[in-house]
Amino acid sequence: MELQKQIDSSKLPQHIAIIMDGNGRWAKNRGKFRVFGHEQGAESVREIVEACAELNIPNLTLYAFSTENWRRPKIEVQALMKLLVKALNKELPTLQKNGIRLSAIGNIEALPEKARKDLLSVMEQTETNTHMTLTLALSYGSREEITKTIQEISLKVKNNLISPSDINESIINNHLYTRDLPDVDLLIRTSGEQRISNFLLWQIAYAELHFTETLWPDYTKGHLYNAILDYQNRERRFGKTSEQLNA
């Protein structure tokens, strides 16, 4: 039986987040520059976005560029930003055709002007699409996000807009970049690394974690289906016992 047909459509994750890792190693294994790996990784992005749309996954978040990635060699950062601009313009018709809304989280103001303008333009042109939300984490770091959230809430407390006793999970959620997204159900990381790398630390509190040795440029729909089947075979208890769930 095909993997896709084994997936239970009634138990789909409502939010999948992916740490797309391994582009550089993929290129190095082939004697190529790292940028070549990023270009091939963009093809995997297209395939996985398409697969999620076909499965009716409502939310997909991709870790595209972290706050720490600014430390990489300047030539690689520049190439990544050019690749972002190229991909945004190239994929707009596909986003529109499939009813996909593009969103972004992170310090967007830190992006080069061309990349920022094209990103905002595509976001604006797709804002009424309702089939799926594709969120790009760009210049994103979870610690930076949480720090910013604490600063904003603290300022409201200082100005007597809220009291310290009012602060709860809901208020914190409403100040995060992801305020319009549900918590992550399934977090996938490629390339064999088994760490979170400062990605959605608050939002993955009860996410199922799926690690694969596959490098991102080699990641296909089949790999995604396997991850979803793995997710569906797990018991999500959220602090309860199995007996409580079964009851």
Active site (catalytic) residues:
21, 69
Which runs of E-coded beta strand occur in the chain?
15-19, 59-66, 100-105, 132-140, 186-189, 208-211
Q: List helix spans (H) across 99-211.
A: 113-126, 142-158, 169-173
CB 9 within 8 A of CB 234: no
Strands 59-66 and 132-140: parallel
What one-character DSSP code corresponds to residue 161? S
The SS3 of residue 17 is: strand
Decide: 211 and 192 in contact? Cβ < 8 Å: yes
**Between 221-232 and 34-55, two packed helices, what is the crossing angle to 10 degrees?**
50
Distance (Å, whole) CA 85 – CA 87 = 6
